[in-house]
Amino acid sequence: MSDMRELYQEMILDHNRKPRNFRVIEGADHHAEGQNPLCGDQVQVWVKLEDGRISDVAFQGQGCAISKSSASMMTDLVKGKTREEAEELFLRFQELVTVGSEDIESLGRLAVFAGVHAFPSRVKCASLGWHTLHAALKGEEAPISTE
Amino acid sequence: MERTVMTTPYDVEKVRAGFPVLHQEVHGKPLAYLDNAATSQKPEVVIEAMKHYYEADNANVHRGVHQLSERATRDYEDARAKVQRFMNAASSKEVVFVRGTTEAINLVAYSFVRPLVGKGDEVLITAMEHHSNIVPWQILCEETGATLRVAPINDDGALDMEAFSVLLSDKTRFVSVTHVSNALGTVNPVREIVRLSHEKGVPVMVDGAQAAPHIPIDVRAIDADFYAISSHKMYGPTGVGALYGKESLLETMRPYQGGGDMIKSVTFEKTVYNDLPYRFEAGTPNISGAIGFGAAVDYLEGLGLEAVAAHEDALVSYCTERLLTVPGVRIIGTAPDKASVVSFTLEGVHPHDIGTLLDLEGVAVRTGHHCAQPVMERFGVPATCRASFGVYNTTAEIDRLVEAVKKVKEVFG
């Protein structure tokens, strides 16, 4: 990893500029708040479930491009998935950004975050949205923290 | 007081040659270390002094009658004398070795201020303090019922002296201010602050952590009651620093920690405390650290603090000027008197992204709140990027910083 554009791929920059599902869901079934006290990043995630599937998911917050684009892409990817499928994806994403994944192909669009694991100080940025989704699905109301 | 003044032009390449860590590549690019306000790099002479202690003289101080202990004690006390001379303290009794500025402030809060204050009393600080000059006072206020007052800063990051004078009242029992702001670079008019405070009979502590590596320190000219510095910010090792305190005040203070070395005699009925400054140095001190600290002080004085200040002032001006040529750059902290720090933001790009991208270019800066969250709040930013300069930095490194910032702007479109 020696070039800016390898880490900050176009898809990351695009989601940073135009975050998807960047809104509040009124009457959501689940909601959680996450923060990274180290850098002040904050995110809130709302989830609506129908027949065990995520029928709608949205987020709001502030943070760096890695945290914002990761949360944005997450909302795109988990929509329509069952709770279990979303949790499974969360675990695979965690693996990707902490130790790296050998099976990047199957991760689809998430593969753009493959470079993050080489930057330990940025892993928490990439996973903040996912941790918050995980907390929301588990029904944790107290804000979660990456610390 | 004698200070070595360099009469020849400042030879930055010669300075760089003395710092082993600078000669490496990061992400395939030569390292440009611009994070000196966080910690400075260490010259070979400092590393060698510490190595020599461990290889030749290692023993405990103030105890043994054997040769090694005597050498270790001599070198430890020599280091104190060097620090005394560096700060222009009147006596080596006034120089207490501590872990760093943070511990020095906590020591003064506990041993000097706490017995003085109660409900209705006030401690006055400023809005540009590092967390280490906020939290000890909050703890003190919580425990004593005293109130913490904060003098505001202007839009350029300079202290609002008018507001300070108003907040300095009959209720004020203590003032603690930074000499140089770590987040903004602002140099505070500490002499004036001390003069105003003393007019009201209020003692003053000055946090000199950021000042000591950049501007000549004279505690007697400032007339500070307490002044604290950290070795690691001035080319010395981590884990050691010095608290200067006027002898007349240190004499009256209760110990900070109990233990060995801070006592004259101990029985279960009564303990007699040691003389100054040992009364405040409980336990085996950081001997190698103090020796390295002494070597760092020698090193800085060898370069000449005036020459260092001139070199770094030129870098601050150059960096400010060059960064402002990049559209979207905002400099946070534009006070007329600044030392060594250029804090900035780039429109539309979070500072952490800038930090990572600069790292990929081999340029090391600090991003975040710089342990000064109230300062960030004052300027309405979550964080900034901070380039901070030391004796070995060059305009070429600043050019690389500016080119990298331009590249970030390009990447983020």
Asked whether the beta carbons of residue B27 and residue A1 sit closer than 8 angstroms, the reply is yes
Asked whether the beta carbons of residue B356 and residue A2 sit closer than 8 angstroms, the reply is no
The answer to whether residue B314 sits within a structural domain is yes
The Cβ of residue B42 has, within 10 Å, a number of other Cβ atoms equal to 23
Residue B371 annotated to the active site: yes
Both B69 and B156 in a single domain?
A: yes
Asked whether the beta carbons of residue B360 and residue A40 sit closer than 8 angstroms, the reply is no
Choose among B207, B220, B234: nearest CA to B303. B234
Choose among A58, A57, A47, A61: nearest CA to A125. A61
With beta carbons less than 8 A apart as the criterion, state whether B341 and B386 touch.
yes
- The CA–CA distances, whole Å, from A69 to A128, A143, B92, B381 equal 11, 21, 57, 20
Of B27, B361, B369, the CB nearest to A40: B369
Quote the pLDDT of residue B310: 96
Both B400 and B275 in a single domain?
A: no
The Cβ of residue B322 has, within 10 Å, a number of other Cβ atoms equal to 18
Which residue of A4, A119, A122 to mutate against B (max B Cβ within 10 Å)?
A: A4
Quote the pLDDT of residue A40: 75
pLDDT at A14 over 90: yes
Mean pLDDT, chain A, whole residue set: 90
Strand B32-33 relative to strand B363-364, pairing = parallel
Both B313 and B216 in a single domain?
A: no
Both B68 and B170 in a single domain?
A: yes
The answer to whether residue B1 sits within a structural domain is no
Quote the pLDDT of residue B242: 98
The answer to whether residue B4 sits within a structural domain is no
- The last residue of a domain, from among B269, B301, B333: B301
Digit-coded pLDDT (tens) for B48-86: 999 999 999 999 998 878 999 999 999 999 999 999 999
CATH code, domain with B267: 3.40.640.10
- Which chain A residue has its CA at the smallest distance from B404's CA? A4
Q: Averaged over A37-58, what is the pLDDT?
A: 91
Contacts 24+ apart (CB under 8 A), B263-266: none
Asked whether the beta carbons of residue B360 and residue A3 sit closer than 8 angstroms, the reply is yes
Both B400 and B321 in a single domain?
A: yes
Model pTM? 0.92
Report d(CA A137, CA A67) in Å as an integer. Answer: 19
B155: which residues sit within 8 A by CB, 6+ positions away? none
The one-letter amino acid code at A24 reads: V
Both B249 and B262 in a single domain?
A: yes
- Residue in this structure with the two tokens 């993050």, named with its chain if needed: A116
Rg of chain B over all Cα atoms, to the nearest angstrom: 22
- The last residue of a domain, from among B253, B275, B301: B301
Q: Averaged over A105-116, what is the pLDDT?
A: 87
Both B119 and B146 in a single domain?
A: yes
Q: What is the number of residues in chain A? A: 147
Q: Averaged over B306-327, what is the pLDDT?
A: 97
Q: Averaged over B24-31, what is the pLDDT?
A: 96
pLDDT at A1 over 50: no
The answer to whether residue B342 sits within a structural domain is yes
Of B360, B382, B407, the CB nearest to A62: B382
Choose among B190, B174, B162, B58: nearest CA to B118. B174
- Considering only residues 323 to 352 of chain B, which have any Cβ-Cβ distance to chain A shorter than 8 Å? 349-352
Quote the pLDDT of residue B9: 79
With beta carbons less than 8 A apart as the criterion, state whether B179 and B126 touch.
no
B199: which residues sit within 8 A by CB, 6+ positions away? none
* Interface predicted TM-score of the whole assembly (ipTM), two decimals: 0.87
Digit-coded pLDDT (tens) for B266-293: 989 998 999 999 999 999 999 999 999 9
Both B372 and B229 in a single domain?
A: no
With beta carbons less than 8 A apart as the criterion, state whether A136 and A57 touch.
no
Question: DSSP E strands: which ranges in B25-170?
Answer: 25-26, 29-30, 32-33, 95-98, 122-126, 147-151
d(CA A53, nearest CA chain B) in Å: 34
B26 - beta bridge partners? B29
The one-letter amino acid code at A22 reads: F
With beta carbons less than 8 A apart as the criterion, state whether B372 and B38 touch.
no
The answer to whether residue B7 sits within a structural domain is no
Quote the pLDDT of residue B368: 86
Both B26 and B100 in a single domain?
A: no
Confidence class of residue B1 from pLDDT cuts 50, 70 and 90? very low
Quote the pLDDT of residue A147: 67
Confidence class of residue A47 from pLDDT cuts 50, 70 and 90? very high
Both B335 and B384 in a single domain?
A: yes
The answer to whether residue B203 sits within a structural domain is yes
The answer to whether residue B2 sits within a structural domain is no
- The last residue of a domain, from among B278, B301, B324: B301
Choose among B285, B307, B250: nearest CA to B100. B285
Query: How is residue B209 annotated by DSSP?
Result: T
Asked whether the beta carbons of residue B369 and residue A125 sit closer than 8 angstroms, the reply is no
The answer to whether residue B412 sits within a structural domain is no
Mean pLDDT, chain B, whole residue set: 95
**Both tokens assigned to B121:** 């009393």
pLDDT at B3 over 80: no
Digit-coded pLDDT (tens) for B244-265: 999 999 999 999 999 988 888 9
Quote the pLDDT of residue B156: 97
List CB contacts (< 8 A) between A38 and chain B: 368
Q: Determine the 3-state secondary structure of B383 from DSSP.
A: coil
H or E, element range at A6: helix A4-7
CATH code, domain with B350: 3.90.1150.10
Write out the residue range of the structural domain in which residue B161 sits. 47-301
Quote the pLDDT of residue A3: 73
Choose among B64, B55, B49, B118: nearest CA to B296. B49
pLDDT at B309 over 50: yes
Task: Provide the number of structural domains found in chain B.
Answer: 2
pLDDT at A87 over 60: yes
Q: Which of A109-118, B164-173, B223-232 has the lowest mean pLDDT?
A: A109-118
**B368: alpha, beta or left, given left = phi > 0 and alpha = psi -120 to 50?**
left
Strand A144-145 relative to strand B25-26, pairing = unpaired
**Both tokens assigned to B324:** 């402002």
Both B65 and B118 in a single domain?
A: yes
The domains found in chain A, sorted by start residue, are 3-140 (3.90.1010.10)
pLDDT at A2 over 60: no
Choose among A129, A7, A118, A141: nearest CA to A67. A129
Q: Averaged over B339-347, what is the pLDDT?
A: 96
DSSP B305-360: HHHHHHHHHHHHHHHHHHHTTSTTEEEE---SSB-SEEEEEETTB-HHHHHHHHHH
Quote the pLDDT of residue B373: 87
Both B318 and B283 in a single domain?
A: no
Report d(CA A34, CA A143) in Å as an integer. Answer: 5
Quote the pLDDT of residue B65: 87
Digit-coded pLDDT (tens) for B374-405: 998 899 988 899 999 999 999 999 999 999 99
Of B27, B349, B352, the CB nearest to A39: B352
Confidence class of residue B7 from pLDDT cuts 50, 70 and 90? low
